[in-house]
Structure 1
Amino acid sequence: MDEQVKRFEKYVKNNNLAIEKYNLNNFKFAECLDVTSLEVKGCFNVNLTIPPLNITRLLMVKSKFDLEGIQNMTQLTELYLPCNFLKNISQLQYLVNLKILGLNNNNLRDIRPLGKLKQLETLNIAENKIQNINTLFNLVNLHNIELDKNAVKDNTCFKALNNVTELRMINCQQNNIQSVRYLVNLQILHICRNNIDKITPLSQLHFLRELYISRCNLDNDISALSCLTQLYRIDMDYNRICDITPIRYLVNLEMLCMSNNHITDISILRNLVNLEFVNMSVNYVQDLLPIENLARRDSFVIGLQMQPTPEIINCYLNVRTIFLSKEMNKLAVDKHKSLNKNIIQWRINIDKITLNCLDVSNVNLIKIIQLFQQINNIDDEKVYQ
């Protein structure tokens, strides 16, 4: 065995070899007989002209690599090539066994070689310079596509995916998204940071379960949501929405994020009995009574921006997490991840202005595990008893 290969034996774990920031001049990957997964990060002089024999998974990140020789690695089922400044991917058309392909953060414009990868199930081509995706038309096994931060402008471009019956997710942030209405099998849709004022095309996506549409300059008309009764997660932060009435029909909703809008009335939430996370911070909500029953559940999490009276605090003592600070952007829960009821603890975050309006001696905080009191001057010992 080559001496250089022996040097890397200690980096092999569970048939995976990971090499980082190394000059791989004359390194003979083919001698790594027991390796089925190879990770190369920030390396130089990578040579795959004599490819590894048993590699089925290859990750190559920030390495000086022009894909020469990779066309011979036909046994690959997973290939990740982010951040390699790639422009030409013609060699990839021969990797017909690929099921997962990551080409994000490159300089790609032409993705036509991908049209021959019939087994492809997951494709990440985010953060490139792609304008046309018609070549994906025949990839009937695709169910997960990442397209965010490209230059897709053709309003009919997604018709190319019309035959993809198992398409479940598409991420097309910072693109023209009008033709997503053709993707009737979608279950997850990310269209954040698009300058759109209407979401009418979404009304046809009846299988949609998760919708992320924050920072899109949406106006007050969200009536299209009333048809999407399978939705259980919505993120519409940072828009111009006033009326949330259409949401009343979304009985499966578990997470609702609508901070930084123009909402005054949340009474329609009263009957959404499956809600577990609500963020209405930086709105104009004053009446919390509509969600009083929801807030009595141990798993409920709420984010608001209003003056907390003793009645409000006591009413929400069963809320697992409550945010009542002036700065509502510092949430303690990642709203894009599933809530973990075993990890989330009791938290109350009160800023100085809020405290001035709060009679702390009348507030029962006996169930609080963690109390955040930044920028406060609490000197009432009753709070801690």
Structure 2
Amino acid sequence: MEEQIEHDKRAIEMYKSKISSRCLTISRSDIPNDNIQSIQFVDELPVNQLKIFSVADIRFDRVPTKLTRLHVINCPNSNFTGLEQMRQLTFLRIFSNMPPLQHVNFISTLVNLTNLDLSQNQIEDLRPLQNLVELQKINLSHNHIEDISPLRKLVKTEILNLDTNKIVDINPLKYLKELKELNLQNNLLFTVKPLQILEKLAECYFSQNMIQDESILPIITKLDDNEFLKVFDINYKDNLIEEQIQLTPTKQQQLFSNKIRTVYEQQEQLQQEENLIKTAKLHITQMKAQALQILTVAEQSHVHLTHNIIRLFQNNYYE
């Protein structure tokens, strides 16, 4: 206990000069032995925000009670057990740590959170988030999420990033009436029909999915000329400008129908090319095996193959 008190005193003196705008930033270069025994000492400093970068072995068993904003980034071997005590937090960012987070049960008690960033982890289960009803901005990109049903209760959410996950069913999102910005890129979507009733949706990103219907059309017709173009990519916008097309709802439907059809044709072509490559690799493997058998039989039978013929086999099948 005395050792901990002494550690906290040294830490307070060390970090007093590093505070800026009520924010304390701690990085690996600031800490002897690349280690923090506890961050509870932060309560004795005039800060409400703590940013920790590239510091190993962080523990949260003894935590500050006054912080409202916390960032933990690129911090290997961190132990987040105990962070559930920080119920005063309104902002939490935990990403790019090793090993990545797989379970976030500690977050279920942080009911005052309005901004949450758990991107670049390996999270599958979102149930610990279901009671965080004050959340307005959520970033869960680059995880292993399939089931987003726990999000249906988070009705105050305005910005939601689910980029690069394994999501197929987005029905729970239809309950998020305040949603203004949504990123669903790089998932497994076949339709976005549940989003058609979201009247406040102004920005939406759906590229790198497998949308097979025209459910996207009623969504884009609600957006203005600048916003709806974000659904796909900037190149599409350039094409429209070059052709000086008037963006009427009918024209939008035609353009996006063509775009969707083109995407699927490209996907089919890529699949065909991949199949051809696999077949060619199989043939090469079989030919190498046959060549080896021929050479083995020839040696065993004392067949006098010339040096050049043997080299020919080797060059054709083993290089």
Same fold? TM cut 0.5: yes
Task: Spell out the pairing of 1:1-385 with structure 2 (5 A cutoff).
Answer: 2-21=9-28, 22=31, 23-33=34-44, 34-63=46-75, 64-84=77-97, 85-153=100-168, 157-183=169-195, 184-185=197-198, 186-196=201-211, 200-205=214-219, 227-228=221-222, 230-233=224-227, 234-235=229-230, 236-237=232-233, 256-258=237-239, 266-269=243-246
Give the superposition deviation at 1:7.
Answer: 1.1
Q: Residue 43 of structure 1: SS of its match in structure 2?
A: coil
> How far apart, in 2, do the equivalents of 1:270 and 1:189 lie?
18
The answer to which structure, 1 or 2, has the higher relative contact order (CA under 8 A, 6+ apart) is: 2
Give the superposition deviation at 1:168.
Answer: 1.1
- Where is the helix percentage greater, Structure 1 or Structure 2? 2
Q: Residue 106 of structure 2: SS of its match in structure 1?
A: helix
Q: Where does structure 2 lack aligned partners over 5 or more consecutive residues?
A: 1-7, 249-319
Give the superposition deviation at 1:230.
Answer: 2.7
Q: Where does structure 1 lack aligned partners over 5 or more consecutive residues?
A: 206-224, 242-255, 272-385
Classify 1:229/1:133 alpha carbon distance in 2 versus 1 (closer, same or farther; 3 Å).
Answer: closer
> How far apart, in 2, do the equivalents of 1:105 and 1:91 lie?
18
Corresponding residue for residue 305 of structure 2: none
**Contact 1:37/1:56 (8 A) holds in 2:** yes
> How far apart, in 2, do the equivalents of 1:202 and 1:68 lie?
42
Classify 1:229/1:36 alpha carbon distance in 2 versus 1 (closer, same or farther; 3 Å).
Answer: closer
**Contact 2:190/2:209 (8 A) holds in 1:** no
Corresponding residue for residue 275 of structure 2: none
Classify 1:86/1:161 alpha carbon distance in 2 versus 1 (closer, same or farther; 3 Å).
Answer: same
Give the superposition deviation at 1:204.
Answer: 2.6
Classify 1:3/1:101 alpha carbon distance in 2 versus 1 (closer, same or farther; 3 Å).
Answer: same
Equivalences, count: 228
Aligned amino acid, residue 203 of structure 1: L
> How far apart, in 1, do the equivalents of 2:175 and 2:212 lie?
29
- Kindly report the root-mean-square deviation, in angstroms, between the aligned alpha carbons of the 2 structures: 2.5
- What is the aligned-residue identity percentage? 24
Q: Residue 268 of structure 1: SS of its match in structure 2?
A: coil
Classify 1:182/1:24 alpha carbon distance in 2 versus 1 (closer, same or farther; 3 Å).
Answer: same
Name the larger-Rg structure.
2
Give the superposition deviation at 1:36.
Answer: 0.4
**Contact 1:38/1:55 (8 A) holds in 2:** yes
Give the superposition deviation at 1:20.
Answer: 1.1
Classify 1:182/1:270 alpha carbon distance in 2 versus 1 (closer, same or farther; 3 Å).
Answer: closer
Give the superposition deviation at 1:28.
Answer: 4.1
Q: Residue 7 of structure 1: SS of its match in structure 2?
A: helix
